[in-house]
Amino acid sequence: MNFEWLGRQFDNIVFLLGWHVLLAVTPLILGLLIALPLGWWAHRSRRIYPLLVGVAGLLYTVPSLALFVLLPLVLGTKILDPLNIVAALTVYTVALLVRVVADALDSVPEDTVQAAKAMGYRGYQSLVKVELPVGVPVICAGLRVAAVSNVSLVSVAALLGIPQLGSLFTQGFQLRFYTPIIAGIVLCVVLAMILDGLIILLNRWLTPWTPKVVAS
């Protein structure tokens, strides 16, 4: 490790880290916002469920580099536009979470739904105030998987020349120089762990009724 090089490159690395966070977190939020109504729809309709889960599974099989390259055809963007990465990762996040949200809502005990109804909650009130909160742990488990894989997937975009932590890998390869590669790997893993930890905290904050020792 050449720490002197790291010191000189500090500003650049922070810049790359910032882009990495942006490219990994934006799709996570967008994906969740899209997956919530879709998952609810799959939960409500037994005919829609296999259809949505099937399409999601097919989307998930498309390799990321291929999706990064094909999306400009659909979106009309330039190949170097970071928007392609955000769109591609949103597609993966939605594909993963649609099933998770549907299964989370399915996992709410029927007694709970009945009790909410008996207490006067109407359809959407019951969904927002009872069913979704009860399903939070399952949704958070899915979010954790999506967050960690997004961080890893963003670095693939370096092969197309879009700046983020993956750029340190291509730079290290061209210079035959280990320092940026190791720094990039460490930062990616730390970033993934931080996002993972934040979602665990979010889960605890949203579900204060669960016992303190939560099996993760």
The footprint of another protein (CB under 8 A) covers 57-58, 60-67, 69-70, 73, 79, 92, 96, 142, 145, 148-149, 151-153, 155-156, 158-161, 165-166, 168-170, 172-173, 176, 178, 181-182, 184-185, 188-189, 192-193, 196
Nearer to another protein, 38 or 151 (CB): 151
Give one DSSP letter per residue of the chain, joined into a string: --HHHHHHTHHHHHHHHHHHHHHHHHHHHHHHHHHHHHHHHHHH-TTHHHHHHHHHHHHHHS-HHHHHHHHHHHH---TT-HHHHHHHHHHHHHHHHHHHHHHHHHTS-HHHHHHHHHTT--HHHHIIIIIHHHHHHHHHHHHHHHHHHHHHHHGGGGGGT--STHHHHHHHHHHT-HHHHHHHHHHHHHHHHHHHHHHHHHHHHH-TTS-SS---
Nearer to another protein, 96 or 101 (CB): 96
Smallest distance, another protein to C-beta of residue 208, A: 25
Smallest distance, another protein to C-beta of residue 124, A: 29
Nearer to another protein, 127 or 151 (CB): 151
Smallest distance, another protein to C-beta of residue 125, A: 31
Nearer to another protein, 49 or 92 (CB): 92
Nearer to another protein, 86 or 138 (CB): 138
Smallest distance, another protein to C-beta of residue 107, A: 12
Nearer to another protein, 121 or 202 (CB): 202
Burial readout 168-206 (b: 16 or more C-beta within 10 A, e: otherwise):
bbbbbeeeeeebbbebbeebbeebbeebbeebeeebeee
Smallest distance, another protein to C-beta of residue 145, A: 6
What is the chain's alpha carbon radius of gyration, rounded to the nearest angstrom?
A: 20
Smallest distance, another protein to C-beta of residue 173, A: 5
Q: Which amino acid is at 155?
A: S
